[in-house]
Structure 1
Amino acid sequence: MSRRPLGERVVSAARQARDHAAGKIALTEHLPVIPEEIDVAAIRARAQLSQAKFAQRIGVSAATLKNWEQGHRKPSGPSLVLLAMLNKNPHIVEETLRTDK
């Protein structure tokens, strides 16, 4: 988060939008980079959970998790995104879905 006053940030954003609309600048789109390969066993180890507990935490069956870890299958789609997030923060599920807020 910028430490500049809110008014300065709003004016700057308005100028940037104006310049973009006029074709003076091209704004870059920041898309997430989803890895093609991910080490599921290492992510689970960092979370310090058994296969059963980790599978339950991410909403997949223990058999699916085991297949990913053994290389028989690969996670894809939303599972791959969730695993990439867990790779960055092993506690993101608990932090996000905590019910004691």
Structure 2
Amino acid sequence: MEYIDVTSIRKKFDLSQSEFSKMFGSSLRILQQWEQGRRRPQGAARVLLKVIDYAPDVVGKALHV
């Protein structure tokens, strides 16, 4: 499974962990575990993170960020 750098994806939006987790519907605890490498995103969260990483400007526009 390909590594996803959740911290760098979050920083593309210049958001805190709390803000990012609220914006994308993830729990803060899960986000922290992803960033610390204790867990890996799976399923729909993994897909969403890949889309956010690929096109942060499009996702930002869609969510009015």
TM-score with structure 2 setting the length: 0.86
- CA RMSD in angstroms, aligned pairs only: 1.5
| Count of aligned pairs | 63
Q: Considering only CA atoms, is the larger Rg found in Structure 1 or Structure 2?
A: 1
C-alpha separation between the residues in 2 aligned to 1:97 and 1:87? 15
Aligned to 1:70: 36
Q: Percent identity?
A: 40
User: Could you say which structure has the higher helix fraction?
Assistant: 2
Structure number with greater CO (CA < 8 Å, separation at least 6) is 2
In the TM superposition, what whole-angstrom CA distance separates every residue of 1:10-30 from its partner, at most 9, and x where no partner exists? Answer: xxxxxxxxxxxxxxxxxxxxx
Unaligned regions of 5+ residues in structure 1, if any? 1-34
Give the Å deviation of 1:46: 1.1
Q: Which amino acid aligns with 1:58?
A: F
Whether 2:24 is the aligned partner of 1:58: answer yes
C-alpha separation between the residues in 2 aligned to 1:47 and 1:97? 12
TM-score with structure 1 setting the length: 0.57
Q: Which amino acid aligns with 2:44?
A: P
Whether 2:48 is the aligned partner of 1:79: answer no
